[in-house]
Amino acid sequence: MSATERACPPAGLERDVPLSRTTSARVGGPADYFVVAKSSEELERAARWGISEGLDLLVLGAGSNVVVADRGFRGLVIKSISRGVRVLGEDEEGVVVELDSGTFLPSAAKTLARLGVTGLEWGVGIPGTAGGAVVGNAGAYGGEIRDTLLEIDALDSRGGTVTLANEDLGFVYRGSAIKRGEADVSAILRVRHRLSRGDLAAAEARTRELLSERRRKEPVEPSVGSTFKNPEGTTAGILIESLGLKGLRVGRAMVSPKHANYMINTGGATAAEVRELIELVQRTVFERSGVLLETEIEFKGEW
Ligand SMILES: Cc1cc2nc3c(=O)[nH]c(=O)nc-3n(C[C@H](O)[C@H](O)[C@H](O)COP(=O)(O)OP(=O)(O)OC[C@H]3O[C@@H](n4cnc5c(N)ncnc54)[C@H](O)[C@@H]3O)c2cc1C
């Protein structure tokens, strides 16, 4: 698409939609423009429209790894709920599976386990999407996205379609070239993984076991999940807890009494309160232990 070519506004486009509705922490002010993309094609069309209008673009999956400012986002927010799990082929190297970017990871993990395809069971407790998981190189229980990702189909900042391989994505622990702003990706459309043929009963049992472990350990309140990356030699949760910070509050945001790396919204918290709490924990941990915790979550919008 050339810069002068204007695309049609996407169906379902809305104005001034509060992003607190669409983020797991239930905070975030209005997006100037907001649309839900139910398929890769809708995501592509909406992104191309935003680009042709010169709007800043923010694609969200489940909004489970972002804190959006109370002032919201000046531009177009596209929420990707494009869902689909397809087995593309199988050979001696494994099973190639394609997921639409808005596919919820827990559903993908369960669907694949039912097909006897293993390698993504660890995603069963992560409340994010296949696209968002690539951006943050999500992981749990010893698995992470970069272990099995083959490639992604995406749109670049001019609306052109590109395919980027695992090695183009600069994966590091809970990060990627996309998250660092080093890859020209405005929207991930589809992701492909190379997984393995495994035992159906074992894969299903593993997803059940991981899910029940999650439920035991995690707070039930709205949150952005694990806020800080784990530092060398320990976990962020253990470190924060060891300094007695569980239950610390800023307004209606609180360090979860159940898991110290989760900042929870106890009801009606603002994004500013969540951010202030995160920065207070970071400062306190640094002053008392010398460890500078790095955030795993991203701050988005107009702060
Ligand atoms: C209770 C809880 C538990 C969690 N546990 C874990 C865990 O164990 N391990 C872990 O790694 N994470 C965990 N998380 C964090 C989060 O769920 C993951 O990082 C998840 O992969 C984020 O996916 P998402 O769809 O919610 O991304 P979002 O929060 O919507 O977005 C995250 C980033 O990806 C970008 N993005 C999303 N979709 C697209 C797309 N289609 N195209 C381009 N960019 C896109 C966004 O712009 C943003 O930069 C947890 C979160 C919660 C709330």
Q: Residue 92's pLDDT is what?
A: 87
Query: Can you tell me the mean pLDDT for 3-10?
Result: 71
The sheet with strand 57-60 has its strands ordered as 14-18, 30-37, 73-80, 57-60
Confidence of residue 7 (pLDDT cuts 50, 70, 90): confident
Residue 181 sits in a domain whose CATH number is 3.30.465.10
Averaged confidence pLDDT in the chain: 95
Predicted confidence band at 215 (pLDDT cuts at 50, 70, 90)?
confident
- 190: nearest Cα among 157, 149, 159: 149
Q: Which residue type, as a one-letter code, is found at position 22? A: T
If asked whether residues 291 and 264 sit together in one domain, one would say yes
Confirm if 268 and 254 have CB atoms less than 8 A apart.
no
| pLDDT confidence bin for 210, thresholds 50/70/90 | confident
Which of 217, 240, 272 represents a domain boundary (last residue)? 217
From 196, 217, 238, give the residue that closes a domain: 217
Q: Which domain holds residue 34?
A: 14-80
Task: Tell which atom from ligand 1 comes closest to the C-alpha of 60.
Answer: 30
Ligand 1 atom nearest 154 alpha carbon: 42
Q: Which helix (H) or strand (E) holds 153?
A: strand 149-155
The catalytic residues are: 174, 226, 296
CATH number at residue 43: 3.30.43.10
Question: Could you please report the per-residue DSSP string of 253-284?
Answer: EEE-SS-TTEEEE-SS--HHHHHHHHHHHHHH
Q: Is 2 domain-assigned?
A: no
Distances (CA, A) of 206 to 87, 119, 137, 201: 21, 11, 21, 9
Protein residue whose Cα sits closest to atom 11 of ligand 1: 138
Instruction: Read off the pLDDT of each residue in 247-265 and give the average, rounded to a whole number.
Output: 97
Indicate the residue among 217, 232, 267 that finishes a domain: 217
Nearest to 61 by CA among 127, 141, 120: 127
8 Å CB contact between 43 and 271:
no
- Quick one: 164 and 128 in the same domain? yes
User: Is the pLDDT confidence value at 5 over 80?
Assistant: no
Residue corresponding to tokens 């076991």: 209
Tens digits of residue pLDDT in 158-194: 999 999 999 999 999 999 999 999 999 999 999 999 9
The two tokens of residue 168 are 């183009």
pTM of the model: 0.95
Shared domain check, 234 and 173: no
pLDDT tens digits, 39-80? 999 999 999 999 999 999 999 999 999 999 999 999 999 999
Nearest CA to ligand 1 atom 13: 126
Q: What residues line ligand 1, using a CB cutoff of 6 Å?
A: 24, 58-66, 80, 101, 126-129, 131-133, 135-136, 138-140, 187-188, 218, 223-226, 298
Number of domains, the chain: 3
Instruction: Flag whether pLDDT at 217 surpasses 90.
Output: no
CATH number of the structural domain spanning residue 264: 3.90.78.10
Instruction: Please name the residue that has the structure tokens 């050979």.
Output: 91
Pocket test for ligand 1, best of 21, 60, 105, 261 (most atoms within 8 A of CB): 60
- In a mutational test of the pocket of ligand 1, which residue from 126, 179, 221 has the highest number of ligand atoms less than 8 Å from its CB? 126
Instruction: Determine the atom of ligand 1 nearest the C-alpha atom of 144.
Output: 11
User: Which amino acid is residue 239, in one-letter code?
Assistant: L
Q: How many angstroms is it from 134 CA to the middle of ligand 1?
A: 8
Inter-axis angle of helices 105-114 and 200-217, nearest 10: 150
Q: What is the tens place of the pLDDT at every residue in 126-147?
A: 999 999 999 999 999 889 999 9
Do the domain assignments include residue 241?
Answer: yes
Distance in Å, CA 133 to ligand 1 centroid: 5
> In this model, does residue 3 exceed pLDDT 60?
no
pLDDT of residue 199: 81
- Confidence at residue 214, expressed as pLDDT on a 0 to 100 scale: 84
**Same domain flag for 150 and 95:** yes
Between the CA of 212 and the centroid of ligand 1 the distance, in Å, is: 21
Q: How confident is the model at residue 207 (pLDDT cuts 50, 70, 90)?
A: confident
Q: Assess whether 200 and 247 both reside in one domain.
A: no
Give the distance (Å) from ligand 1 centre to CA of residue 132: 4
